[in-house]
Each structure stands twice: as structure tokens, then as C-alpha cells.
């Protein structure tokens, strides 16, 4: 019976360590996904701006920039 208790205690320790490691990994993955989402959002805005410039023409973009900086 003592041997069975030892096995149960050992398994409980191993499971607790496994859960702690998985929780740390999950937190790291969540942080990576969040930073990736922010980065992709910036890229999306840049692509929208480039598409707008391409559709409206470079002359329009230059005039708009001049108006924005009051030159």
C-alpha cells in the first residue's frame, strides 16, 4: 500500500509541474499572438495607404501631404 501511495504522490508532483510549464507556455503564446496582431494591424494600415496612393495617383498624394504640413 505504501508503494501505491508513493506512485500517486509522484504522479501528482509530475502533473503539477506539467501544468505549471503548460501555463507558462500558454502565456508566452498569448503574448506572441497579441504582438503579432498589433504588427499585422500596422501593416494593414500601410497597405491601405499604399493602395489609396496607387488609386488616386502620386500627384494627389503629394498635394495632400503639402496641405497637411502647410507648405
User: For the segment 28-59, what is each residue's pLDDT rounded down to a tens digit?
Assistant: 999 999 989 988 999 999 999 888 878 887 78
Q: Do 53 and 61 contact (CB within 8 A), yes or no?
A: yes
The four Cα atoms 7, 9, 10, 16 give a dihedral, to 10 degrees, of: 140
pTM of the model: 0.51
Q: How confident is the model at residue 6 (pLDDT cuts 50, 70, 90)?
A: confident
CA distance 71 to 69: 6
Amino acid at each position: 500500500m505504501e508503494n501505491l501511495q508513493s506512485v500517486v504522490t509522484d504522479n501528482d508532483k509530475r502533473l503539477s509541474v506539467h501544468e505549471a510549464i503548460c501555463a507558462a507556455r500558454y502565456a508566452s503564446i498569448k503574448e506572441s499572438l497579441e504582438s503579432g496582431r498589433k504588427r499585422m494591424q500596422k501593416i494593414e494600415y500601410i497597405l491601405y495607404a499604399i493602395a489609396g496612393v496607387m488609386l488616386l495617383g502620386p500627384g494627389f498624394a503629394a498635394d495632400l501631404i503639402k496641405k497637411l504640413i502647410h507648405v
